A and B are shown apart, each in its own frame.
Chain A
Amino acid sequence: MRPFTYTCPKTVDDALRAYMQTSESKFIGGGTNLLDLMKMGVERPPQLIDINKLPLTAIEERNGGLRIGALVSNTAAANHPLIRTRYPVLSQAILGGASPQLRNMATMGGNLLQRTRCYYFYDPSYAECNKRVPGSGCAALHGYNRIHAILGQSEQCIAVHPSDMCVALAALDGEVQVKGPKGERSIRFADFHRLPGETPQVETNLTSGGINYLDRFAGYLLRTPFLLPEGAGSSFVCFRARFRGGDSGRGRGRKDSRSANRIGRGRNETLARHTGREGSCWPETG
């Protein structure tokens, strides 16, 4: 509800230029999380850079693996024949979350950068949240926290990352390719997100060397977020315990994923993968 400027660049370089020109700009793709956060007053960007015109919507084979553009919708990725056949875990993980309407809008890049649904983070009328206001404390630590992390948390933050998809991508040992003002680089998916530690406000390793992610020169555009290695996908299945079904977590879709679970690599190993990342989602809400 605060005034902001809006720009809609056509190229990645234009997007980066716009990003560097206005401090604390935000890229917007599907907007399924950012708009909520703006309405709540959690995010207050002075500029929105709409990246939906950028040519980042392809899913293509590369070196026997798969390269997925940052602007591919969650729905398109989950239903893509190559992903369904070679990386079913990714398809299952995407379909295990949100709703069809949200998945239609949500992008693969945005899914990585969505922010925690911790109650105390999401509502700025709670004074304490180290992620929102560094140094303010953690209201969840001794508050209502049954949906919070059981592994990987710190005294500063016990929030979990909300993405199902990211868990699958970590299991698949994917790679994130990014482009920033200083050029392009690749980040191993498992290294993309950070545990909260002492700086829960720094959620990813998009910046390095201790640079605050809000620094205007530290921004990166997710260009081709996922490079999936050859042959990694078939032995993983999506596995998720939660209070309720949500859209395809129940009914027919669910049955399929559960039976697939039995022929996967074994639940204990999958579980370890899940929980090893950012105190991730077990048990989790839908």
Chain B
Amino acid sequence: MNNLIGQPLDRIDGRVKVTGRAVYAYEHDVPNAVYAVMVTSSIANGRIASIETHEAERARSVLLVMTHQNSPKLPAVQDQSETSPPGRAVQVLQDDRVYYPNQPIGLVVAETFVDAVAAAQLVQVQYQARPPQVDLESRLSQGYTPKKSGGGGAPSTSKRGDVEAGLKEADQRIEQVYWTPFQVHNPMEPHATIAVWDTAQHLTIYDATQGIFGARGRVASVFALPPSNVRVISPYLGGGFGSKGPTWSHVILAAMAAKQVNRPVKLAVTRPQMFGPVGLRSQTRQAIAIGAKSDGTITALRNDTASHTSMFGEFVEAATLPTRMLYQSSNNSTSQVIVRSNIGQSSYMRAPGEATGTFALEVAMDEMAYALKMDPVAFRLKNYAETDPDENKPWSSKSLRECYRQAGERFGWSRRPLEARSMREGNTLIGWGMATSVYPTRRSESHASARLNADGTFSVDAGSQDLGTGTYTIMTQIAAESFGVSPRQVRFRLGDTILPETPVSGGSQTAASTGSAVQLASQALREKLIQMAITDAQSPMSGASAQDVALEGGRLYRRSDPAKGETFQQLISRSGQAYVEGTADSKPGSEKESYSMYAFGAQFAEVRVDADLGEVSVSRMVGCFAAGKILNAKTARSQFMGGMIWGISMALYEEAAVDKRLGRWVNNNLAEYHVPVNADIGQIEALWVDEVDHHINPIGAKGIGEIGITGASAAVANAVFHATGKRVRDLPVTLDKLII
């Protein structure tokens, strides 16, 4: 089947999801399972002075109350270095120290969920609390420069040219500080795990994870098992967004408890417990300087970012990365410091670094455009980077100009008056803003297998995960097109470590990595079958050239004489094999040395602001993205829109609010931690530019999971300025910041 890739195929998993038959981590029917509930700390810093568990232990059906006083000690987690990456340092009841609010300090296991919850409320904890350290501004001097910055392991500082000299020669200068708030992961499905010890040395984990193989490795190392003794299963996820990339404490706790009670243990992280133990996006403080000549040429660009990490691990919200490479700027410097705070580990959240970094940079760019009295798009085009100015390499492909053009035309940007507060309908101020989107193209080693079974069925396996993004669907399309059957004939499996090894579904790399592996495996199988046919003396295609053999409609035949052919079953049955298999070991080559690889985009937003009250709504938004080959027009559109909508959320609503006296998140539920609902979102349009990029990976996809959020919050904030004349440099843009 040709031209399947790119088609808006309905989700393969759509029907089972809407009919409730898709089984999520917590829902696996494991016989004899018992229920665990975490007890978490109500202080942010200090020690547990005492923890009284007698009453809880005597409560109905309770099997275990585990605290640091009686937990098994795990040597592998006791020597955690202070620079562990997110999810490596776990808090699994090894000592009495409390590093952050909502840290797991106990685990109650009972026969029923209700009993476990009730007993957990009976655990009495006394603390020796110390003042929490959570404020960034007052502790900037305590920050340090990490060795690496961001997921790609880029250096944490960068410098080219002379920024001070560039600022001196500038006709206009913008020097401002921008803030983005703490954001906490709230996918529809909170974290959940079921741990089953099949034998004393064999563990099966049903886990809500974006990386089954990473989870397998982490759990194996903690329990000192060979990875092959651990199986991780994760067929469906209710969203990941980076939260479920690392393996957090609750996974280890579930396995510890299962071993103690000798029963399978189910553990669900509650919504309030999502605020702390399972990753969050750090607040950022970004000091940006831009200098520009009056013709719009940027003479200097600088971003000095500070963000938080935990007391026990290291994560850099690498907001400086877009400043380095997005615009031509011969004088450019960035630095990144992190400050240790009493927070759960800051970690990956959709476009970590780029989402926050494009906010500050793109608002600063808007400020400069106003200072120059230039159209914001024209200002960006004036400084368009034809090659990567940071790495001094050509782009593998870059269609950003086309994105500006298409999105701008669709939006009607040319009708925009430059002046702020110049569009009004009655008491409503209207503003238009735009920003640039950017996200790197990543790829990791990945494996897949494709089998044609003796009964003629076609099955494709790759460990992988589907976060709700459409992995099942695009892999099915890729396999069908690459092998030459219809999507209905493909049985694609993922989400199990018994399948071929694949990377974490993070960094927007699944399509590029595992998509390429599935393509190569399917092609390998096809070639293998053709070879079988032309070398099999009994085949009607015996002796034909490989080019002369077509594979279509469940059979192989000679192109030169289509009557001469046979079915898959006929070919395989003569071979006596149960199946024929094609495999692929797909990994990045040297393309990274030769090319700089990014997806780009442009976003345009219209906001409506009540002139008296400062209420803001985004009435419409248009984004256009260039992300290589688009594999499924329907799931891609959803991905882009989802990113844009989260950008609106980041711009207007989201903030994990901390009581700085207590170091606790006060709005730790979805009633008070605001995310947009359907009624908050106006018209969202996602367009894309089709790119053919032969350099990035075999499938030609750049990844689309994260680019949609980049630039989105800046486009909204810039539109608010255009509507009101008020520049808000700290997110979220709430009404009080506009009326006071």
Contact = CB atoms under 8 A, between A and B. Distances in A.
B537 interface: no
A43 B117 CA distance: 16
Contacts of A126: 42, 662
Interface stretch (B19-27, B176-184, B626-634, B675-683): B675-683
Interface string B15-46: 00000000000000000000000000010000
Contacts of A182: none
Given A41-B121, A285-B672, A285-B674, A248 B666 contact: no
B132 to A, nearest CB: 13
A242 B615 contact: yes
Interface stretch (B234-242, B593-601, B651-659): B651-659
B130 interface: no
B114 A143 contact: no
A248 B674 CA distance: 16
Interface in A84-118: 99, 117
A142 B653 CA distance: 23
A117 B672 contact: yes
Interface string B545-588: 00000000000000000000000000000000000000000000
Contact of A283 (B667, B672, B677, B736): B736
A1 B123 CA distance: 14
B679 A246 contact: yes
A246 B677 CA distance: 6
Nearest to A162: B671
Nearest to B671: A117
Nearest to B118: A1
Contacts, number: 75
A144 interface: yes
B165 interface: no
Contacts of B42: 125-126
A147 B659 CA distance: 13
B453 interface: no
B694 interface: no
Contact of B661 (A142, A246, A262): A142
A245 interface: yes
B703 to A, nearest CB: 30
Interface string B712-740: 00000000000000000000001110000
B658 A251 contact: no
B570 to A, nearest CB: 57
Contacts of B615: 241-242
B399 interface: no
Q: Which of B272, B426, B659, B662 has the most CB of A within 10 A?
A: B659
Interface in B309-326: none
Nearest to A36: B671
Given A1-B121, A120-B666, A144-B657, A243 B735 contact: yes
Contacts of B735: 241-243, 283
Interface residues of A, number: 34
A254 B616 CA distance: 13
B613 interface: yes
B617 interface: yes
A139 B660 CA distance: 12
Nearest to B59: A1
A73 to B, nearest CB: 20
Given A143-B661, A250-B617, A244 B674 contact: yes
B662 to A, nearest CB: 7
B661 A119 contact: no
Contacts of A120: 666
A251 B613 CA distance: 18
B667 A244 contact: no
Contact of B672 (A2, A119, A139): A119
Contact of B667 (A2, A41, A119, A125): A119
Q: Which of B117, B660, B666 has the most CB of A within 10 A?
A: B666
A286 B673 CA distance: 10
Contacts of A146: 736
B674 to A, nearest CB: 5
B677 A245 contact: yes
Contact of B617 (A117, A241, A245, A285): A245
Contacts of A219: none
Interface string B682-693: 100000000000
Contact of B679 (A2, A147, A241, A248): A248
Interface string A141-153: 0111011000000
A229 to B, nearest CB: 30
Q: Which of A144, A283, A285 has the most CB of B within 10 A?
A: A144
B679 A119 contact: no
A245 B679 contact: yes
A171 to B, nearest CB: 18
Interface in A113-163: 117, 119-120, 123, 125-126, 139, 142-144, 146-147
Contacts of B659: 139, 143-144
Contacts of B661: 142-143
Contacts of B657: 144
Contacts of B114: 1
Contacts of A2: 118
A14 interface: no
A173 interface: no
A126 B666 CA distance: 10
B658 A245 contact: no
Given A1-B121, A119-B672, A283-B735, A244 B653 contact: yes
Contacts of A50: none
A62 B42 CA distance: 52
Interface string A183-210: 0000000000000000000000000000
B258 to A, nearest CB: 23
Interface in A259-283: 262, 267, 283
A247 interface: yes
Interface string A226-261: 000000000000000111111111110110000000
A2 B672 CA distance: 26
Given A119-B666, A143-B666, A251 B679 contact: yes
Contact of B734 (A144, A243, A254): A243
A274 to B, nearest CB: 12
A243 B682 CA distance: 16
B674 A243 contact: yes
A96 to B, nearest CB: 11
A5 B159 CA distance: 70
Contact of A244 (B610, B680, B736): B680
Contacts of A262: 426-427
Contacts of B672: 117, 119, 147, 285
A31 to B, nearest CB: 16
B511 to A, nearest CB: 33
Nearest to A120: B666
Q: Which of B114, B610, B613, B658 has the most CB of A within 10 A?
A: B613
A138 B672 CA distance: 19
A146 B732 CA distance: 14
A95 B662 CA distance: 36
A247 to B, nearest CB: 5
A253 B615 CA distance: 16
A245 B616 CA distance: 9
* In the A-B complex, the 5 residue pairs with the closest CB atoms: A1-B118, A119-B666, A125-B42, A241-B613, A250-B679
22 contacts: A1-B117, A2-B118, A117-B671, A123-B272, A126-B42, A142-B661, A143-B666, A144-B657, A144-B666, A146-B736, A147-B672, A241-B613, A241-B614, A244-B652, A244-B653, A244-B674, A245-B679, A247-B677, A251-B679, A253-B679, A262-B426, A267-B612
Given A117-B671, A119-B672, 16 more contacts: A1-B114, A99-B677, A120-B666, A139-B659, A139-B662, A144-B657, A241-B615, A242-B615, A244-B653, A245-B677, A246-B679, A247-B677, A250-B680, A262-B426, A262-B427, A267-B612
Interface of B: 42, 114, 117-118, 121, 272, 426-427, 610, 612-615, 617, 652-653, 657-662, 666-667, 671-672, 674, 676-677, 679-680, 682, 734-736
